[in-house]
Structure 1
């Protein structure tokens, strides 16, 4: 359904009553770009509770995201479909396809590299129907991609482009009115999937399949020598499409040794077929308290690091938000997604087709909105981001 920039939107949020979706719905209601905000969820009671919370703009809808026909019926008449339903290995492509078939613009928080590749295969459908789709618009991917664009832009040549995040920040803030369900969290299933088998990265200037949980040592400007571990994530396959000449592109997770020691045998059992994905996810969720055991790498919660040259001199640039969004992992993921809808409404995302944040969104536009929603709110992009540069010997 096509609309004119500035016209209030009809927005449907798939998985809207979930841990990420709730932050997206509340932020959309706060921003006011939606005249009609549909909270679509399999759990209609939770959806109704959230719809009541946001007031007259809200409507609850029972929706089964495994039913393509039900999704097409639900999406009819909507301007934008917002997908927070993970794991995206299962729900990314079907929801995107139904949205595009319905003529809707689309945004999601897809953090699965395989689902990201599948989404690109729907680019022709999006263009044929005049739809704008932005996938992977959460924290990582999402905020991390736009930090990477800013870091790379400060160099003349970029050889290595890393994005990363702290596992200690990957914690959902509890809400008494929305107690955890009996099923293993989608985030835990995603983590197990992306720490298993092989993952797609960018090595030697080309796509490569590698094992996850591989230790990578590097120097982070302003911090010093650190290490983190590889994980399957979209940034490693999408950023090379936007930043030319890369030799290496990785997404890295940092955290305490105890946590990685906890997950490795779970990964081995899952790979060997001794446990199911759901069983493995429950075991992952029984991990030690991350807040209580510290971290091995004093890295920011979400960050990007570009290494290359400027004026012929080896230089590293780190970019990361130091101003915090509310809501921990739910807010850090769900709020950027709502900002993408706001940018669609403003007409600042204007390219049809399937895109990732780095090819669809101006970082200045994004972080300008981000600044309004931090706690406390800050004045400008400069108050949101830390940018640290360091001349290096190329090591």
Structure 2
């Protein structure tokens, strides 16, 4: 079972968890720090870690919300709150050194991902993030040599998509014997299934401009929102989805031989919202990052309008094709669970030294799919094979 070793490991760390600086001894009440732990996705990571009995700290500037979350979890385990502004690099480095593992859930990642990863490497601490922006992922992976030199591990993109999607792709790839023709990833999300501003910012960013796809055996750029295709999911049925900017086409070909393509298509439900988003993009409301963020903040303020009539469910499907054979995996559930559970499992695996090596990696390069998927199942994420 997944967390049978957690109690003994936690006991060992609590007894021996002293970290020395040149000026003082720091006694750590918590082992894992969650940056953005008061946010929509970060709070889910905090809860999942707390529920397995591991002391966890919420690192955030939203102290009132962080305090409310911590108070609500006290019956399950030890949660404390640390006021931490991730823009204050020196303070972030100093505070991160007090923990064994840090989870970064601060978005949008195109703004914060690389800077935070760099600070955590300087702090010498193992980390996980849920980065879902392709350019930030590339930049974070570029820090791998720095991490390797000091012997730490970073896992970037260990959420829903990327994250579960990468692990499912690797699982299917191994099942068909490798050297595949195509990896096609499909995702959908619902405004009724999330409340985070960073989620809205990411959506507009992923659907704007030219985004990476791996086509005809090489990484290229395509127009976001183009090349519609259809994919079938449990609960919601057949959906029309579009090219979106995600990290998987950048990372998957690094470790898997794919001769033709690695694609990501996604969209929203109800599907009329896709047309509205594409209209916003067409008239230039996302022409710059600043415009995108202004639009995202406006949409976030009126998001209840978009939630009306929506189903609080999201999902991802991965199709891996080799010749006439195809293996498909799919999962559907609440976005918060689909994102926070993989990140929390990864953090605990790092704490327990179940992930070996040094450097910064996407999930598929450093996590074995079968045991990881078993752990997802223990936490209630059901994977369907087609």
Q: TM-score range by the shorter chain?
A: 0.7 to 0.9
CA positional deviation for 1:196? 0.9
Alignment of 1:332-347 (within 5 A): 332-347=338-353
CA positional deviation for 1:45? 1.7
Alignment of 1:127-138 (within 5 A): 127-138=148-159
CA positional deviation for 1:154? 2.3
In the alignment, the residues of structure 2 paired with residue 128 and residue 147 of structure 1 have an alpha-carbon distance, to the nearest angstrom, of 30
Q: Which residue of 1 aligns with 2:309?
A: 292
Q: Which residue of 1 aligns with 2:73?
A: 54
* Preserved contact between residue 170 and residue 329 of structure 1 (Cα < 8 Å): no
* 1:213-254, Cα deviation, whole Å (9 max, x unpaired): 013336769999864201000111111112113311111114
Aligned residues: 352
Aligned CA distance change for structure 1 residues 160 and 128 (closer, same or farther; 3 Å): same
Structure 1 unmatched runs, 5+: 173-179, 376-383, 389-395
In the alignment, the residues of structure 1 paired with residue 309 and residue 288 of structure 2 have an alpha-carbon distance, to the nearest angstrom, of 32
TM-score (norm 1): 0.82
Q: Which residue of 1 aligns with 2:280?
A: 266
In the alignment, the residues of structure 1 paired with residue 136 and residue 290 of structure 2 have an alpha-carbon distance, to the nearest angstrom, of 23
Alignment of 1:220-231 (within 5 A): 227-231=240-244
CA positional deviation for 1:170? 7.1
CA positional deviation for 1:334? 1.2
Aligned CA distance change for structure 1 residues 10 and 257 (closer, same or farther; 3 Å): closer
Aligned CA distance change for structure 1 residues 215 and 122 (closer, same or farther; 3 Å): same
Q: Which residue of 2 aligns with 1:349?
A: 355
Structure 2 unmatched runs, 5+: 1-7, 14-29
Q: Which residue of 2 aligns with 1:200?
A: 212
Q: Which residue of 2 aligns with 1:245?
A: 258
In the alignment, the residues of structure 2 paired with residue 95 and residue 51 of structure 1 have an alpha-carbon distance, to the nearest angstrom, of 23
In the alignment, the residues of structure 2 paired with residue 263 and residue 237 of structure 1 have an alpha-carbon distance, to the nearest angstrom, of 24
* Preserved contact between residue 14 and residue 40 of structure 1 (Cα < 8 Å): yes
In the alignment, the residues of structure 1 paired with residue 67 and residue 238 of structure 2 have an alpha-carbon distance, to the nearest angstrom, of 49
Alignment of 1:1-395 (within 5 A): 6=9, 7-8=12-13, 10-32=31-53, 34=54, 36-55=55-74, 57-156=78-177, 157-168=179-190, 171-172=193-194, 185-217=197-229, 227-255=240-268, 256-268=270-282, 269-272=284-287, 276-285=291-300, 286=302, 289=306, 292=309, 301-309=315-323, 314-321=324-331, 324=333, 328-374=334-380, 384-388=382-386
Aligned CA distance change for structure 1 residues 259 and 76 (closer, same or farther; 3 Å): same
